[in-house]
Structure 1
Amino acid sequence: MLDVFGRHVAERGFERANFGDIAAELGISKGTIVHHFGTKSVLLRELQERYMRRRLAEAETLLDNTAGADEQLAALIYAFVNYQVVDRTSTVAFQREVVQLLDDETLATVRRQRADYRRLVRDVIRDGIDTGLFRRCDEDIVSLYIFGSVHWMWTWFDPDGHAPVDHIASEYVATTLRGLVIDDSRVERLSDPNGTIAELVRHTLEAANDNHAVQR
């Protein structure tokens, strides 16, 4: 039910997704969905909480396996972009309905998860400043810039388009790091789509995706 609902939200938006279409696709009654979830808001909550749990776990894995704020931020940005392919339906469903998080009490936990995620990125930027890797900047603004630019990719990115996701991720990493690092001699290596950081991200996301498939 969650997977079908997520696809409908990704394709149509939350307001146009409805229990009738979900039930018809699954060959069940609408009452079955109501029994398990009650309302669309609860379905959205379950979908988004599951999504954020996975993203936070992956982020922690990436941070544990990288050294230095520049490597960590590069890995996180690679992951942010690759979600448009690796977990596209859930990513689009999450990102296009982020406005639902603003004041819906049902989604309070998701708001906290998103705040934790943003704090994680902000702490990486702060660590880069404190250790002399990054120029002094407003880490709040920079973190919002990163999330804002990546989280609107669903509006223009085409997985079958002419620009492969690794190329786009590389450009995002290079552009962001060049605006932050004091010594940009490492940027080319960190933004290399065939480099160790990109490979770490691919391995981490593939492992997490395989584990998620087994759990389902």
Structure 2
Amino acid sequence: MVARPGRKDEILATFIRHVAQRGYEQTNLGDIAKELGMSKGTIVHHFGTKAQMLRELEDNYMSQRKREVEAIWAQVETPAERIAALIYAAVFYQVEDRDATIASQREIVQLADDPAMAKIRLQRSDVQRFMSDEIRAGVAGGVFRKVDESITTLQIFGSLQWMWTWFDPAGRYTPEQVGASFVDIFLGGLLVDRLSLATLADPKGRLVKLVRKSVQQARQSDAA
């Protein structure tokens, strides 16, 4: 069967959804081919192996996250605002890019030792470095308590990485409320003066709206 234009994107999107729902090991190329009404050979023609599809998922995902952070950084300047913005963005990914977010987060160690994943590991480190640099700047400026920026960054990212196991976008709490709760806890523990915390942890505040708009615009730009 000859794939029509755009089928590669359709194959990858279906693969991502299957990984999000079942996990990488339980995702079967034959099932994807059957769902899309094509031969398994068509998938192999485009991607070669299932592992290559996971690499492409991770590459696309981390590249997108890095672009979004850079866009947000152009609009907020203080360490506290930037840490809060990263937290809100991580929650919004659970809604705006849910399948890819879950697939990436649940399979983060799947190809950890694969040399072909070196680029993705570097991109992931770059995104984490955005946060660790701001924590370091906040400590140096006397805005944050003296903490180890590496450990604190891992604590925050580690908590956010597992959100897919319990957060339901259609559930009791809105993404804004969940993000605000994370901001309240983490920045509450970092800030020397908590006077600005109520504003940063306001689920209806300016920062929340700015981050949501940036994430949505990036998604629309990619889809265009």
Give the TM bin, normalised by the shorter chain: over 0.9
Match for residue 58 of structure 2 among 48, 52, 62: 48
Q: Tell me what 1:78 maps to.
A: 88
Q: Tell me what 1:151 maps to.
A: 161
Q: Distance in 2 between matches of 1:51 and 1:199?
A: 22
Q: TM-score scaled by structure 1? A: 0.97
Match for residue 10 of structure 1 among 12, 15, 20: 20
Once the two structures are TM-superposed, the CA of residue 106 in structure 1 deviates from its matched residue by 2.6
Q: Distance in 1 between matches of 2:19 and 2:133?
A: 32
Gaps of 5+ in 2: 1-10
1:179 aligns with 2:189: yes
Q: TM-score scaled by structure 2? A: 0.93
Cα 1:148–1:162 shift into 2, 3 Å: same
Identical amino acids, percent of aligned pairs? 49
Q: Distance in 2 between matches of 1:173 and 1:131?
A: 20
Q: Tell me what 1:39 maps to.
A: 49
Show CA shifts across 1:96-151 (max 9, x none). Answer: 00111421223221111111111111111111111111111000010000110010
Gaps of 5+ in 1: none
Given that 1:101 and 1:111 are in contact with CA atoms closer than 8 Å, whether structure 2 keeps it comes out as no
Q: Distance in 1 between matches of 2:133 and 2:111?
A: 23
Q: Tell me what 2:100 maps to.
A: 90
Q: Distance in 2 between matches of 1:30 and 1:205?
A: 34
Given that 1:62 and 1:201 are in contact with CA atoms closer than 8 Å, whether structure 2 keeps it comes out as yes
Output the aligned Cα RMSD: 0.9
- SS of equivalent to 1:99: coil
1:125 aligns with 2:135: yes
Q: Distance in 2 between matches of 1:130 and 1:142?
A: 15
- SS of equivalent to 2:173: coil
Paired positions, count: 214
Given that 1:101 and 1:108 are in contact with CA atoms closer than 8 Å, whether structure 2 keeps it comes out as no
- SS of equivalent to 1:78: helix
Which stretches of structure 1, 4 residues or more, deviate above 4 A after TM superposition? none
